[in-house]
Amino acid sequence: MATNVTPNQQVVPVLPRVIALIASKTQSVIDSVVEQDYPNLEYTINTETPTPRFYNNIIEKTLAPNQIYLFLDDYNRLIGKDAVSKVVAGMSQFPALYTDIVKKNVGFTNKEYLPAFSQMNVLMGQAGINHAFFVRSEALPPRPFNERLEHLYLVQLFRDLASRLLIAHLPDFIIENTNNNQNLEKDIKTLNE
């Protein structure tokens, strides 16, 4: 973490800038970011489609050292006002971090305890993350998302990062995911090309 020295020689940590990219016009998703207690948080709401292009365009415009990106879509929202603060504290020197999630669907709520990160789990397809996660700017190329994908763009980025970096797992419920019925056939074919 970067530091500043005050005039009386005290070392004060500089909080990383967190940029939330919200690919949703759903008010509860937006509110879950706006209500965060983290002081160095900015957000941008998608005004274009598709989502991967929105993410790529904002990253290209804002990429700088000591930043953390959060990617949210219509199906994911933050839980609790201290979610971003917990994540920043948990990331320490890790380039990316994912958390456990609460999945909501019509008629049921399920807590999903995700496994701790292992590159073997990723290679075997057992750690395909399709919900929000956090990434340091230093780990991202300028246009990290495959714009041909409609739904699995987060899975693609997570697998790309996991193939070359050590990712942190925060065993806490930071994300609420509303299950959705998506046709993934086209995206799976694209990922396998």
The model's pTM is 0.85
Q: Within 10 Å of residue 24's Cβ, how many Cβ atoms?
A: 18
Of the candidates 176, 151, 158, the residue with the CA atom closest to the CA atom of residue 117: 158
- The CATH number given to whatever domain includes residue 137 is 3.90.550.10
State the burial class of residue 101 (Cβ atoms within 10 Å of its Cβ: 0-12, 13-18, 19+).
buried
Structurally, the chain folds into a number of domains equal to 1
146 close to 49: Cβ distance less than 8 angstroms: no
Instruction: Encode the chain (193 residues) as per-residue pLDDT tens digits.
Output: 444 555 565 655 679 999 999 998 889 999 999 999 999 999 999 977 789 999 999 999 999 988 999 999 888 899 999 999 999 998 888 999 988 888 887 677 888 777 777 666 655 555 556 567 899 999 998 889 999 998 888 888 888 888 888 888 889 999 898 866 677 788 888 878 7
**Could you list the residue range(s) of the whole structural domain that residue 85 is in?**
3-191
At residue 93, the pLDDT reads 82
At residue 123, the pLDDT reads 57
3-state SS assignment for residue 177: strand
At residue 3, the pLDDT reads 47
At residue 183, the pLDDT reads 76
Distance separating alpha carbons of residues 165 and 141, to the nearest angstrom: 13
